[in-house]
Amino acid sequence: MKTEFEFLAKLKNQYNLTKIGDDCAVLPKNSKTDTVITTDLLVEDIDFRLSWTKPEFLGHKSLAVSLSDIAAMGAKPVWSMLSIGVPPKIWKTDFVEKFYEGYMRLAKKSDVELVGGDVSKTPDKVVVDSIVAGEVKKGKAILRSGAKVGDLIYVTGFLGGASLGLELLENGKNFQNSKYKNLLLRQLSPDPQTEIGQILGSKNLATSMIDLSDGISSDLKHICSASRVGAKIFTKNLPVEPEIFNFESKLRDKISYTLDGGEDFELLFTVAPKKNFQLQKALKNHHFSQLGVITSNREIIELITASETSVLPSKGFQHFE
Amino acid sequence: MKTEFEFLAKLKNQYNLTKIGDDCAVLPKNSKTDTVITTDLLVEDIDFRLSWTKPEFLGHKSLAVSLSDIAAMGAKPVWSMLSIGVPPKIWKTDFVEKFYEGYMRLAKKSDVELVGGDVSKTPDKVVVDSIVAGEVKKGKAILRSGAKVGDLIYVTGFLGGASLGLELLENGKNFQNSKYKNLLLRQLSPDPQTEIGQILGSKNLATSMIDLSDGISSDLKHICSASRVGAKIFTKNLPVEPEIFNFESKLRDKISYTLDGGEDFELLFTVAPKKNFQLQKALKNHHFSQLGVITSNREIIELITASETSVLPSKGFQHFE
């Protein structure tokens, strides 16, 4: 079966859709500024389960996933739209009010104005489409395609938490009485890296960037593919979510959470070595890790452990495969 | 139960969302131009049935409904995004390819560039969110709120066809072997009034405008409410879709199709009497009808027939009531 990536690549080629293929589309606004814009569809029982989450969390997450795409362009979020479809049994409750509470709280914090949207009935599932636009200096949006051989590869924050959080929910853990609330929140109510995205964009520090929605093994591949380069990453440098260690004995390999786990919504970016000092200074109040280096080994990601070097297969999330 | 209009009014007030409430949000682009933007959610078995339509028609309609909102602002459409969710059983077929064929054909005709979107899996229904942006001279977007007492009320094209088309489909008529293909196409593959919208916008001819998605009885009410005026319309002036007369004996009152029938996607607008001559000239190649006049009778729509004057209740489409 065609994957969604294959389908989109074919569509892009067939209709010459040159603006498709990054975290956001980049559109000219005026002589000084470009607009970047993204849309994310979230579907009940595919992207979330109502029994696992709270409407406030879902409202927050709906905005957060799109803010993360804006951050990945190095842009400042400005305005948003939201389409929501709900079945009558949900409409009758206070679900939509609580949903917008969570959405608007994050919108206010992120200085984003909700300017439009649509409300519709559905037969039985909740569906949300989130649209966010941001602004960036003309020509300065950080694309996936700018990584150069020798660039250093960085990632913000800690990885694998959202994926482990999902596994806990799948195994019946409940948010209300869980002692792992932080892990569950990584999955249910992720924080977009809006501030770091803007620092990297405004100071022109990154040569390429993507947000980690599908997992490093997929998302670094997207950078390599768009930039026509390869990458080498060191497992010892992977910033494993500290709480994962509490579960170590019961888990599949913790490294697989960090490499293939989706929805961490951290930023993965590359930096020219000559800007490394400037980067360290600019992000001195944030947690970030150097994973490795960009190579000329086109579209090959080498994974280097203490004992061996192997080629990393893409195991990140795909809807259709 | 709260209607979606009540919910949105409350939300707008609670969070001070000043840009919500017209066919599109109006956003500043540069010193000469404003951007207008809209989003429309279409859900299987609520807004369409796969057994009634073809994927090409659905692709066309998904774009058309949003183009109609752009036209209603007097703007020129420029770019679009599309989020689509489909269940695996549909993804396996050529549904999405055919869907985009219909979508892209109308996009090309309308000079709209598809710049982004999202593709997702759903449990069992198709869902589409259509986003279109357009441009209009700064400060010249035609809002719902500009109608003045004494303005003439106009509508483009013919009314009631989409609604009768829907009724035929509900009664088991099939597009392939129907002799009423034109009526069914009014429902399945509507044409947005992109050209007329731009004429009215660029020549500054209309004081207010809305597209007919829910029916005159609802949509004229929106204009009256936003403009704090009333309206008087003459039933003899209603441009009844000619094919409706073929069904007359079997039908509910044909006037109700034109007043309460949704999805005609014609434009309803008001014009200052002093611009009437200019309007007639500007639209000389298009069909349009003068329905009546704006009154000071706030939010009251009077319906005038040969024998009586009555107050028109809103009977147009609402998702939740």
- Looking at beta carbons, which residues of chain A come within 8 Å of B113? 17, 19
CB contact under 8 A, B129 and A129: yes
Does residue B174 have a pLDDT over 90? no
Does residue B149 have a pLDDT over 70? yes
Residue positions counted in chain B: 321
- What fold does the segment set A4-137 form as a domain? 60s Ribosomal Protein L30; Chain: A; (3.30.1330)
- Residues forming CATH 3.90.650.10 domain(s) in chain A: 144-311
CA distances from B253 to B167, B232, B250, B258, B265 (A): 13, 20, 9, 10, 21
- Looking at beta carbons, which residues of chain B come within 8 Å of A20? 114-117
pLDDT for B60: 98
- Looking at beta carbons, which residues of chain A come within 8 Å of B11? 100
Band (B317; pLDDT cuts 50, 70, 90): confident
Does residue B32 have a pLDDT over 90? yes
- Residues forming CATH 3.30.1330.10 domain(s) in chain A: 4-137
Residues of chain A with pLDDT under 50: none
Strand partners, B76: B135
CA A126 and chain centroid, separation? 22
Q: What is the CATH number of domain B144-311?
A: 3.90.650.10
How many Cβ pairs within 8 Å bridge chains A and B? 168
What the block records as the tokens of B232 is 């008087």
Does residue B249 have a pLDDT over 70? no
pTM of the predicted model as reported, rounded to 2 decimal places:
0.95
Q: List, in sequence order, the alpha helices (H) in chain A.
A: 4-14, 55-71, 88-91, 95-109, 161-170, 181-188, 194-202, 216-227, 254-260, 276-282
Facing B43 at nearest CB: one of A114, A120, A320: A120
DSSP characters over B103-116: HHHHHHHTT-EEEE
The answer to whether the beta carbons of residues B74 and B202 sit under 8 Å apart is: yes
CA B131 and chain centroid, separation? 15
pLDDT for A46: 96
The answer to whether the beta carbons of residues A268 and A206 sit under 8 Å apart is: no
The per-residue pLDDT for range A44-62, each reduced to its tens digit, is 999 999 999 999 999 999 9
The per-residue pLDDT for range A69-106, each reduced to its tens digit, is 999 999 999 999 999 999 999 999 999 999 999 999 99
The per-residue pLDDT for range B272-285, each reduced to its tens digit, is 999 999 999 999 99
Q: Which of A107, A116, A135, A142 has its CA nearest to residue B30?
A: A135
What the block records as the tokens of B68 is 């109609």
Q: Alpha-carbon distance A102 to A125, whole Å?
A: 19
Residue with tokens 């279109």: B132
DSSP class of residue A174 equals -
Does residue B66 have a pLDDT over 90? yes
> Rounded to a whole number, what is the largest CA-CA distance in chain A?
59
pLDDT for B252: 62
pLDDT for A5: 86
pLDDT for B108: 98
CB contact under 8 A, B83 and A117: no
Shortest CA gap A201–chain B (Å): 21
Residue with tokens 């109006």: B26
